[in-house]
Amino acid sequence: MPPLENVFVIRHGESEEDVNPEIKSELVDSEIELTEKGILQAKEAAEKLRSELVDFEHITLYVSPYKRTQQTAEIILDTLRDGRIEMVVEPSIKSLNWGDITTENLKEIEQERYRIGVLSYHFPGGDNSTEYVGNIYDFVRRVITEKHINNGKRECAIIIGHGFSLRIIVKAFTEMSDEDFKWIKNPPSTFVARIYFDPTIDSFVMREPLPVREPNEIEK
């Protein structure tokens, strides 16, 4: 079997922003926390993972530096209490920074983002999507090099991020085309995207596809 057999990419549990989008006017994005429902979702996600992790020698849990992702990771670690798991904070998989967006200019920015392309749009006062995507691709290449190519252990990776970063991680691992990426949307809270290495085609593939959006559905 190959060293890195499975990668579980997980979106954080329900956050305060999910139930109250206006909270971004009160808190910086990185400080937004999980709701009580989000805490329960993280515990449920850990229990679902438990049986999937039995056969691995080592498990690396990569987590975004934001509070809601770190809370999700800590709940999973506390629930599993598994000494094989090593947690690593990974800055590149942080939430996409939409910059100077307000309720007044949201529609205009969304339209411009679609016109230019969600993989390359530069948010005023926020992230340059080209750089953001490139940083995540560099991270995925590093994981594959360290955990898959130059490693003799049976490895598993768990990656806890945000909606857009999750989709980019899946795109990078599975070599998804830009056209296919255009139709996938943010999965729900604590959605687990399971990626595995298929030696018959020498590639990483998904167990189940990510949810897709309708042509007229706005992407977030």
Cβ 46 vs Cβ 71: under 8 Å: no
Q: Using one digit for the tens of pLDDT, what is the confidence trace for 177-215?
A: 999 998 898 999 999 999 999 999 999 999 888 988 766
Examine the pLDDT at 38 and tell me if it is beyond 60.
yes
3 pLDDT band, cuts 50/70/90, is confident
Q: Using one digit for the tens of pLDDT, what is the confidence trace for 96-109?
A: 999 988 878 888 88
pLDDT of 208: 86
List the domains of the chain with CATH numbers. 4-203 (3.40.50.1240)
Structure tokens at 37: 């429902």
DSSP 16-74: HHHH-GGGGGTS-GGG--B-HHHHHHHHHHHHHHHGGGTT-SEEEEEE-SSHHHHHHHH
Q: Using one digit for the tens of pLDDT, what is the confidence trace for 109-119?
A: 888 988 899 99
pLDDT of 196: 94
Q: Using one digit for the tens of pLDDT, what is the confidence trace for 115-157?
A: 899 999 999 999 999 999 999 999 999 999 999 988 888 999 9
Examine the pLDDT at 58 and tell me if it is beyond 90.
yes
42 pLDDT band, cuts 50/70/90, is very high
Examine the pLDDT at 220 and tell me if it is beyond 70.
no
pLDDT of 215: 61
Q: Is beta strand 203-206 parallel, antiparallel or unpaired with respect to 192-198? A: antiparallel
